[in-house]
Structure 1
């Protein structure tokens, strides 16, 4: 009898999807679990995709992507991220997820150690596992506003450390690591000759004056950094599955050889749509950001009004990560909220052990959904519901 490989059978499962499956058994669920924009793609972007199909641009493309898109991304990286790069240093991918998986495979060997944030998007751990590497987790602490700190990272570096994965703005915490903090991290990576994947899907979703800095833009880091991004969050193109990675040209050429055997190329109509997303009007992107900012305030204020709940205002992305430790363990609280209030949230432990005591909630939902969420939680989180300590 054929059996699954150890690689497949021991691959970590997504706690996000597990909670979604549980929620399917309940009625009238308020879904603050999935991290997906509730906006449609811009009309100009949709029209560009339709035109590509009508014009017969629905064929195989070069593995790295069509030349006009790679050039547009190079211009974008120069304009918005201060990364001066050639189009040849860009490879298109199946979302940022595909870019990160291919890059991990391209810069590590089995047995190497990869530094992962904790808490973090759960797929990172599965990707490192698939590559045959060892995940080493560095904590993101509330006392540091969930920023990545070099002095914390340094404790986890060993002679086997090959790669660091950064994510700022952070999923699930909303923390935005500062320029000064990133410079210290950059110096540390150069000191130990460690490659960096900088996953930046939430770069445009910033609040209260927070600044996004790409670590690849810092002096001397072009030979170390692979900047991964997606069109899913900024442009609400989640279902089109298009992202990219930019890095040292010769290594990107090797990544293309890996991608050729795993997915061949990104679908062509989405690539033409992506050009319009980057170079067309950005008005709807700013409108989304303003809408998220308003929803963020309602959710943060509402959560902080609840007994036994404290919530830092996220500096970026579209998640809050409230501390609910006074109510119990993360998984127990998430289940309790689902059963008693039909609210779908994600336990912090779905993102790593350091997520214990927290819950992730997404505010890429309607204002009415957020207000109803707070109303339902107010009904169940009375002072008496907080366990004695």
Structure 2
């Protein structure tokens, strides 16, 4: 660039919207880990919530068949009718919920479905109660809609789960939406039928409030029963259930999610989607259809591995002084409170003040990547993904133990 061009170049002014938004911390940590790996460092990444299994072969075969059959054109904005009907069948079979295709919108990942709902329901200044710890993108989605996120913090002693009494105390006339996940990312906590019944009773007393229930980890459940909030009749019309294929079917790269909601909300989400991405990839939708038609046998096999890994990691964590954690009932994370290490000095001199400091220390000293809990509304914690091979997990927590032992 010439000097003249440099002096006349107009300064770039980004929107207030983008300046207020934070980058996903899981993606940020993964970037750091990849950069170190590119320099030849042996980094074990436990930062991403991604199954380490391949997509089942029958799903891949369906994608190949879709190509051969000419599924290469634009798709309907809410998804192929055949796929939406299969999703309705899934809800009836797994969740005892009766939906029609008009209730269903298929999106490019569950993340888009969540964002569609928030943008459809939240006006500037509306309050959104977010059960905390929460998935990293919830608060940013609320901010994008110019709403006000109201974190409601569950305690470690209660497996990080928010209680109905806490929820009742948090609802105000400005509350528009409640957001939560079960099984939970990052804690692995699963709400029981009794706990959700109590929450439904509270929501039932506040007809101006809707609930966005994120059930993407539904199949990765170690306690047996998955309960959907929409099963409770008094709130069914005000519950929007979001799910997808990334976790249960190891289809992260395929980017297919969906929501179920009353027709007016589904239509609003379809309207937003029509102006942003239109319909989801044709090949991925046909693969998703095959996934549902194939049942959940492959998911159950993966869950057995996730349970074994959880138990192995919990055994390893017991040998690490200062880690306090719940026993995850689902998903594939552990989320220990690491505040016992705050105030301790690293071998190089700097003192660990926060979980973010500790996560960076572990990345550079142990070469293990994880995500600090501030991204999830829990600044005393760190999230470790257990969706990695057994030998990687074992090596990672041996390294972590050794690195933490160096702290003064």
Q: TM (normalized to structure 1)?
A: 0.95
Q: Give the structure 2 partner of residue 339 of structure 1.
A: 364
Q: Give the structure 1 partner of residue 397 of structure 2.
A: 374
Distance 1:266 1:337 in 2: 39
Distance 2:140 2:403 in 1: 35
Q: Give the structure 1 partner of residue 374 of structure 2.
A: 349
Q: Highest Rg: 1 or 2?
A: 2
Distance 1:229 1:265 in 2: 17
Deviation by residue 1:102-151 (Cα, 9 ceiling, x = unmatched): 11111222221111122211111111111111111111211111123111
8 A contact 1:210–1:315 mirrored in 2? no
**Correspondence 1:181 to 2:195:** yes
8 A contact 1:304–1:311 mirrored in 2? no
Distance 1:350 1:164 in 2: 19
Q: Give the structure 2 partner of residue 50 of structure 1.
A: 64
Q: Give the structure 1 partner of residue 327 of structure 2.
A: 313
Gap runs ≥5 in structure 2: 1-9, 343-353
Q: Give the structure 2 partner of residue 15 of structure 1.
A: 25
8 A contact 1:167–1:198 mirrored in 2? yes
Q: Give the structure 2 partner of residue 198 of structure 1.
A: 213
Deviation by residue 1:131-177 (Cα, 9 ceiling, x = unmatched): 11111111121111112311112222111100001211100001111
Match of 1:327 among 341, 355, 367: 341
**Correspondence 1:71 to 2:94:** no
Q: Which moved more, 1:306-315 or 1:166-175?
A: 306-315
8 A contact 2:132–2:162 mirrored in 1? no
Q: TM (normalized to structure 2)?
A: 0.91
Q: Give the structure 1 partner of residue 150 of structure 2.
A: 136
Gap runs ≥5 in structure 1: none
Q: Which moved more, 1:16-25 or 1:317-326?
A: 16-25
Distance 1:135 1:144 in 2: 22
Shift of 1:25: 4.2
Distance 1:220 1:87 in 2: 22
Partner-residue secondary structure (3-state), 2:91: helix
Match of 2:74 among 49, 60, 69: 60
Distance 2:274 2:403 in 1: 52
Q: Give the structure 2 partner of residue 298 of structure 1.
A: 312
Match of 1:228 among 242, 256, 259: 242
Deviation by residue 1:57-101 (Cα, 9 ceiling, x = unmatched): 121111111111000000100110111111211010111111111
- Tell me the number of residue pairs that the alignment of Structure 1 and Structure 2 aligns: 382
8 A contact 1:300–1:312 mirrored in 2? no
Distance 1:115 1:81 in 2: 25
8 A contact 2:133–2:160 mirrored in 1? no
Distance 1:171 1:332 in 2: 22
Deviation by residue 1:285-337 (Cα, 9 ceiling, x = unmatched): 11111111111111111011112222222001000011211112211111111
8 A contact 2:156–2:325 mirrored in 1? no
Q: Give the structure 2 partner of residue 254 of structure 1.
A: 268
Shift of 1:253: 1.6
Q: RMSD value over aligned CA atoms? A: 1.4
Distance 1:348 1:251 in 2: 32
